[in-house]
Amino acid sequence: MHSFNPQNFEAALAAARHSFDHGGVPVGAALERGGRLLAVGHNQRVQAGDPTAHGEISCLRAAGRQASYKDTVLYTTLVPCAMCAGSIIQFGIPTVVVGEAASFPGELDLLRERGIQVVNLQDQRCMGLMQRFQQTRPALWAEDIGR
């Protein structure tokens, strides 16, 4: 298992809060290599009008081209959906640190079946932020997850 830097998870959480504060879906993500932060992104579906701009995808876009992702860790405040899990699998990101899985089941099983190390922090701050979002903006949440 890769070791991970808690400060990089905090960057993902800050990005999620930023998205919420600006009317978007509160999911943030950060990519690191060797403990060094490469990129941060947040869900920008609302802000950019882009249905594919989930937090993990925005983070990968911010990181730009990488020759390999085999030595990276992706932090995300919420379990990745099918689209984001597919990107993680496609690029061979070996470790995903998830803030929480209580608010959305996502694709934990798929990631694990494909050999990806998943660490679930069960972070109360992530849970609280997502629960607040789901309660105050239920239509936007349903739109984000395709319901």
How far the first Cα of the chain sits from its last, in Å, is 35
The first and second tokens of residue 111, run together, are 């990631």
Cβ atoms 55, 43 nearer than 8 A: yes
Active-site annotation holder among 10, 32, 56, 100: 56
* Residue 56 annotated among the catalytic residues of the structure: yes
Question: What is the DSSP secondary structure assignment for residue 55, as one 8-state letter?
Answer: H
* Contact assessment for residue 59 and residue 40, using Cβ atoms and an 8 Å cutoff: yes
8 A C-beta contact, residue 44 and residue 18: no
- List the Cα angle 27/82/135 in 5-degree steps: 40
Name the strand (E) or helix (H) holding 131.
helix 124-136
Active site residues: 56
